[in-house]
Structures are given as structure tokens and as C-alpha cells.
Structure 1
Amino acid sequence: MTDLRRATPRDLAEILADLPSYWGDRDVRHLHHPMFVREFGDTAFVSGDVDGYLFGFVAPAHIGYIHAVAVHRRRRGTGVGRHLHTAFAAAARARGATRLKAITGPANAESIQFHERIGFKADLVTDYSGPGQDRVVLTRDLP
């Protein structure tokens, strides 16, 4: 497995320059605010040569929130996503988190299935992001 390290502004620029390699044709630029690297950098990770990345933070309610996680198409299926989640869980636990949480759209079956495989529970929440904007809330307790 490749080494993980803290994400840098340079990594973020590289990710933004190649978003389709991580997200396909989905327009997710809005998920990549610089604050996730600059302000929450202690819980923002990249793997290897930006084979994958995870941006998160620990909320005051002791929840480790996974804001964005993606693996480059060249490294899918190699364990990078699981490795990123493990590192984030350890960092979140060290900051007092007792639970992990992520949000995705109901159509994102790949993300939902991945998170369920690594122990998350998926719940569809109607109107989570406003009227007609259902989301799947993924949660997992930290030991």
C-alpha cells in the first residue's frame, strides 16, 4: 500500500486539474474548497502520488465527517479507499470522535456499496438537502 500523507495546496491543485480521473463526468468542483486542506489539513489525506484523497474534519458533536473521498481511476480496487478511511478514522478518534459520517446521493451506488463493505450503515433521508433533495447518510461507530 502506498504511504499516506497530509494533503497540501499543491495536491489540491493537482486534484482539481484532473477531477474526471477521480469523479468521471460528475461536476464536484464545489466539494473541493481550499479550507479542507488549509484549515482542516490535519484530517485531509492523500495517498502516494495523489492516487486517492480524503478531506474531512471532526465536528463539535464528536463526529468525524468525511466530506469528500475519491480514488484515481488507475488505482481503484487496490485498497486505497479503505486505507484512506482507516487513516481518517484514527485521526478522528485521536481528536475525540466517537462516530464517522458521510453523505452521498441515492444514485451513487458505488459509494454506498463501498461504505457498507467497510462497516457503514446507509440510511436514506428524504429531503436531507432541501425539498426533493434526498441523501444517503452513512454512519459507523468508532471503537
Structure 2
Amino acid sequence: MIPVMGIHIAPAQVADFHQVLADHSRYWGERDLRSLHLLALVQEFGSTCLVARAEDGIRGYVFGFVTPDGTGYVHLIATRDDARGTGLGRRLYTAFAESAERDGARRLKAITSVENTGSIAFHRSLGFDTKIVDDYNGPGRAMAVFLRDLPIAG
């Protein structure tokens, strides 16, 4: 594993978005989530779409935005396969929370499939309340919904 030192978290650029898609399997393995990657998020919500850069490329990223009601919504967060377990995901979430709070967020929200036990455990470790919401993503499609108030401690 690569240590987290030497990483700079900064707003994502269009080129970063394309690099993340080119290296998609390094972040998501066999799961094809490319359709969830929306360039409009990077273009329109630049302060809350962040990448973690190191000399060897983008080690992780978080794409999200702040809703009109003051919710910092994390749409995607991922770390590269060789950066997992280093605390980078936690650092990305903290950076997102700080940026979202500057943009007026008072709480954070994220969702994942009920089968994604890794994501559920990660969000719980960050202090999110978790509930399963039936039909959240359409009939018969329950999702795990994560909520927590700001500020978030690193």
C-alpha cells in the first residue's frame, strides 16, 4: 500500500474526470459505474468535486454538490486499488465536508446499495446514521441512506 503522504487534494478538472474514467477499474474493480460519473458535476460544482493527486496520478476522488436545502450530497467517492486502507477515503470525505460547509451545507448525505457492505461500514465509521429506505431508487429498490450533521472531524 502507498502511504497517504505526498497527496494533494484539490478541485477536479475536466482532464481529471477523463483520467478517472480511463482508470475506472482501478477504483471500482468489476463494477461498471461509469454511467454515474457526470462531467456536469465537475463543471458546475467544482468546489465539491475533489481529486487526491500524487506523483503517480489520481489516488482517489469525491464528486458531490450542495443542495438548496443545505445538504452536502456525496454522489461518488472512490480510492484507487493501491491506496485503500491508507485513510485517504476519510481525508477525501473531510475535504468534501469542509468545502460543502463553506458552500452553505449543514449536513451530509450519501446513498449506496444495501449489498454494498463495505460502503455501509465506511460511512458508519465516519459517524453517519444509516437507514434502509424501501423503494428509494424505484419500486423494489431499497437503498442505504447515510446522514450526519456538520461539522465533521478528520
Give the shorter-chain TM-score range. over 0.9
Residue matched to 2:67: 59
Q: Describe the SS at the equivalent of 1:67.
A: strand
Residue matched to 1:94: 102
CA deviations 1:59-115 (Å, max 9, x no partner) are 001000000000000100011100100001001111111100001000110011011
Distance 1:76 1:101 in 2: 22
* Matching of residue 9 in structure 1 with residue 36 in structure 2: no
CA deviation after TM superposition for structure 1 residue 24, in Å: 1.1
Residue matched to 2:82: 74
Residue matched to 1:30: 35
**AA of the residue aligned to 1:30:** S
Distance 2:130 2:58 in 1: 28
**AA of the residue aligned to 1:83:** R
CA deviation after TM superposition for structure 1 residue 17, in Å: 0.8
93, 117, 122: which one aligns with 1:114 = 122
CA RMSD, aligned part only? Answer: 0.8
* Matching of residue 19 in structure 1 with residue 24 in structure 2: yes
Q: Tell me, which stretches of 5 or more residues in structure 2 are unaligned?
A: none
49, 52, 66: which one aligns with 1:47 = 52
Q: What percentage of aligned pairs have identical amino acids?
A: 48
Q: TM-score, normalised by structure 2?
A: 0.90
Q: Describe the SS at the equivalent of 1:130.
A: coil
Aligned length: 143
Q: Tell me, which stretches of 5 or more residues in structure 1 are unaligned?
A: none
Distance 1:87 1:34 in 2: 20
Q: Describe the SS at the equivalent of 1:90.
A: helix
